[in-house]
Amino acid sequence: MSGDILDNHGRGSASWRWPSVHPEGRKFGAIVLGAAALAAFMGWSLLAWPLLALTVFVLAFFRDPLRVVPQGPGLVIAPADGLVTLIQRVVAPRELTMDDGSGTPALSPSVVTRVSIFMSVFDVHINRAAMGGTVRRVIYIPGKFLNADLDKASEENERQHILIDTGSGLLVGFTQIAGLVARRIVPFVKPGDIVAAGQRVGLIRFGSRVDVYLPEGCDSLVLLGQKVVAGETVLAEVGRTLRREGLAL
């Protein structure tokens, strides 16, 4: 059940269950299913079966499985499912570092580590908070729809920046980026909201990317080419710096 405590000593209970479908996707599934039913009623079987298959795909795309979120101070949790395609030292976007006149804190303009997670159309597209705290900024920027796997997508594509203040002097920023097929970023939070680590904060429709700007003083614990799971994979731990290597087999 959502909210239950489970640990590495066997506390709690877990069992397999069908993932629910997020409300954002139910309307699309209903529309396509209605079209499939109409086609079947009209005797257009060649159209009805593909529409029925499309209904299954739409519902699967908007699936919203439960996640067991690791708990602990300084843990940065993956905000998206997908493939780690870039790990770079960069300056965070201006929207996350500038003084916006509100008096709220901003990211340091110094160089930080950015971890980019590419979501294919087969990945879960619900995005989650990388750390718990207060949402300080939610900034939407219109732009292009380049392949989200490209480095320049971070600066040119339609995107939405989210900045979370943990309340202990730590800030974490991440950016939802639309891609070739994605055409809408849907936020679930607004400035002032208090979120827990791993809490749902938004989604991007149909293939996209999320960039995470790690707090200063930590390295990425995930490797280039690694698959990560939103709300479960630990991307970094504040104060922990090390070099890890992996072997593609």
Give the residue numbers annotated as catalytic, written as ranges: 208
Q: At what angle do helices 23-41 and 45-61 cross, to 10 degrees?
A: 170
The partner residues of 164 in beta bridges, in order of sequence, read 135, 172
With a CB cutoff of 8 Å and minimum separation 6, the contacts of 225 are: 83, 84, 85, 246, 248
Instruction: List % helix, strand, coil for the chain (3-state, nearest 5).
Output: 20, 30, 50
DSSP 3-state assignment of 53? helix
Q: Give the whole-angstrom CA distance, residue 96 versus residue 174.
A: 9
Compute the distance between CA of residue 90 and CA of residue 94 in angstroms, rounded to an integer: 12
Q: Are 178 and 204 in contact (CB under 8 A)?
A: yes
Instruction: Establish how many alpha carbons lie within 13 A of residue 66's alpha carbon, considering only the half-sphere containing its beta carbon.
Output: 12
Structure tokens of 232?
A: 């479960």
Read off the DSSP letter of residue 157: B
Strand 171-178, strand 63-64: pairing: unpaired
Q: State the Cα–Cα distance between residues 191 and 201, nearest whole angstrom.
A: 12
Distance CA 171, CA 150 (A): 26
